[in-house]
Amino acid sequence: PVLAAAGLTRTFRLRGGQGEVQALRGVDLTVDAGASVGLVGESGSGKSTLARIVAGLIRPTAGSLRLLGREVADASERRRRALSRDVQMIFQDPRASLNPRLPIHRTIAEPLRTHGLPARRAEVARLLDRVGLPARVAELYPHQLSGGQCQRVGIARAIAAGPRLIVADEPVSALDVSVQAQILNLLKDLRDELGTAFLFISHDLGVVRFFCERVAVLYLGQVMESGATERVFATPRHPYAQALESAAPAVRLAERRSRIVLQGDPPRPEDPPSGCPFHTRCPVRIGPVCDEVEPAAYPVGDGFARCHLLTPEEGR
Ligand code: SF4
Ligand code: MG
């Protein structure tokens, strides 16, 4: 695998010493070479924290993170920088992710320079062409480009140094719907051409279904269910995954299940519930066991789900 996380945990201290937030609570996740894994969940589920840890922007508090077989959870700044050639990130807000004072050719050449690769203008023109932009864009500044064009520049920068893994954090959610499809198709074409693995973060299950062969469903910093995308969409086993799936725009109307509407807001991450983290909103909560005992990860297909309904006793 290009990415293997085990027990990955990240705690943020609240300002003024008012306690801590556990943004990630023991995440296990694997991304094989060339594979695309989707990460879905509501805001506050820890998706962006995980993205930022994998991209080397922040460090985990505990747990193991192996990138290309090397442990990086406690790696030095220098070792992380060396790895940054292999792991690149695409951001949600394409314009904000570009330096407004740099012409586009400098932004795209930046990862090449950083890693001592030739950063000739011809290479920048080739990268622009790969993401569907004309060569003249090299001379422009971000404010002269549309949001979709800025994201194409962000993608050119991400692929410039030939990464093995791209972390895409909501790469199309800030774009117009018509542009979203173009950018998704571009990412898919590049992925198939380059064989780059993706950790693809989205709140949009339709997008994940289009792009990813595997998916992990995050809730309050824990993976509730994971597995092959088709399996998780067709037969979600965790009640939270079932609710997310039922609320997604119908892709196949004939198979439409009735919508499960969750009551209440997600609990505050600084004050997570005891037992099953989903028990305060779960429509099929069994009883005190859900409030008191944290469910184990039970194997489902080639993945798992964390729910007491899946215990062997309940399954009988
Ligand atoms: Fe619902 Fe209990 Fe399963 Fe949690 S463990 S998802 S509360 S049934
Ligand atoms: Mg986010």
Tell me, using a 6 A CB cutoff, whether residue 53 lines ligand 1. Answer: no
Ligand 2 centroid–CA 57 distance in Å is: 14
Same domain, 147 and 256: no
Top mutation candidate among 225, 290, 314 for ligand 1, by most atoms within 8 Å of CB: 290
Q: Mention every residue, 6+ apart, whose C-beta is less than 8 A from residue 31.
A: 1, 2, 3, 4, 37, 165, 197, 198, 199
Same domain, 40 and 174: yes
Q: Among the atoms of ligand 1, which is closest to the Cα of residue 277?
A: 4
Give the tens place of pLDDT for each residue, 259-306: 888 888 888 888 889 999 999 999 999 999 999 999 999 999 999 999
Residue 197 is classified by DSSP as: E
The ligand that comes nearest to the alpha carbon of residue 307 is: 1
Domain of 103, in residue numbers: 94-162
Find the distance separating the first CA and the last CA of the chain, reported in whole Å.
35
Per-residue burial over 148-186, b if 16 or more Cβ lie within 10 Å, else e, is bbbbbbbbbbbbbbebbbbbbbbbbebbeeebbebbbeb
Question: Domain boundary residue among 119, 145, 162?
Answer: 162
Model confidence, pTM: 0.92
Helix boundaries (H) for the chain: 47-54, 77-83, 104-114, 121-130, 147-159, 177-194, 205-211, 229-234, 239-247, 288-292, 312-315
Q: Is-contact 197 35, C-beta < 8 A?
A: yes
Question: Domain boundary residue among 111, 140, 162?
Answer: 162
Same domain, 81 and 12: yes
Domain count, the chain: 2
Which pLDDT band, with edges at 50, 70 and 90, does 316 fall under?
A: very low
Ligand 2 centroid–CA 292 distance in Å is: 30
What mean pLDDT comes out for the span 136-160? 97
Same domain, 74 and 108: no
Tell me, using a 6 A CB cutoff, whether residue 167 lines ligand 1. Answer: no
Please check the confidence at residue 194 and state whether its pLDDT lies above 70. yes
Tell me, using a 6 A CB cutoff, whether residue 224 lines ligand 1. Answer: no
The number of CA neighbours under 13 Å toward the Cβ of 7 is 5
Tell me, using a 6 A CB cutoff, whether residue 279 lines ligand 1. Answer: yes
Same domain, 131 and 174: no
CA-proximal residue: ligand 1, atom 5 (nearest): 307
Per-residue burial over 260-288, b if 16 or more Cβ lie within 10 Å, else e, is eebeeebbebeebeebbbbbbbbeebeee
Tell me, using a 6 A CB cutoff, whether residue 289 lines ligand 1. Answer: no
The ligand that comes nearest to the alpha carbon of residue 260 is: 1
Same domain, 207 and 257: yes
Please check the confidence at residue 228 and state whether its pLDDT lies above 90. yes
CA-proximal residue: ligand 1, atom 8 (nearest): 285
- Work out whether the CA dihedral 130, 134, 136, 138 comes out positive or negative: negative
What is the per-residue DSSP string for 250-307? PSSGGGPPPP-PPPSPPPPTTSPPSSSTTTTT-TT--SHHHHHSPPPEEEETTEEEE-
Residue 14 is classified by DSSP as: P
The ligand that comes nearest to the alpha carbon of residue 46 is: 2
Same domain, 264 and 239: yes
CA-proximal residue: ligand 1, atom 7 (nearest): 279
Same domain, 194 and 154: no
Q: What is the pLDDT of residue 251?
A: 54
The ligand that comes nearest to the alpha carbon of residue 174 is: 2
CATH code for position 183: 3.40.50.300
CA proximity to 35, closest of 275, 161, 212, 181: 212
Same domain, 128 and 211: no
As for the ipTM of the complex, it is 0.95
Same domain, 140 and 250: no
Top mutation candidate among 219, 222, 285, 306 for ligand 1, by most atoms within 8 Å of CB: 285
Tell me, using a 6 A CB cutoff, whether residue 281 lines ligand 1. Answer: no
CA proximity to 305, closest of 253, 211, 236: 236
Same domain, 81 and 129: no
Question: Domain boundary residue among 137, 162, 187?
Answer: 162
Tell me, using a 6 A CB cutoff, whether residue 219 lines ligand 1. Answer: no
Tell me, using a 6 A CB cutoff, whether residue 275 lines ligand 1. Answer: no
| Pairwise CA distance, residues 31 & 220, whole Å | 21
The ligand that comes nearest to the alpha carbon of residue 91 is: 2
Lowest mean pLDDT among 39-53, 79-93, 165-179: 79-93
Same domain, 227 and 112: no
Give the tens place of pLDDT for each residue, 14-38: 887 778 899 999 999 999 999 999 9
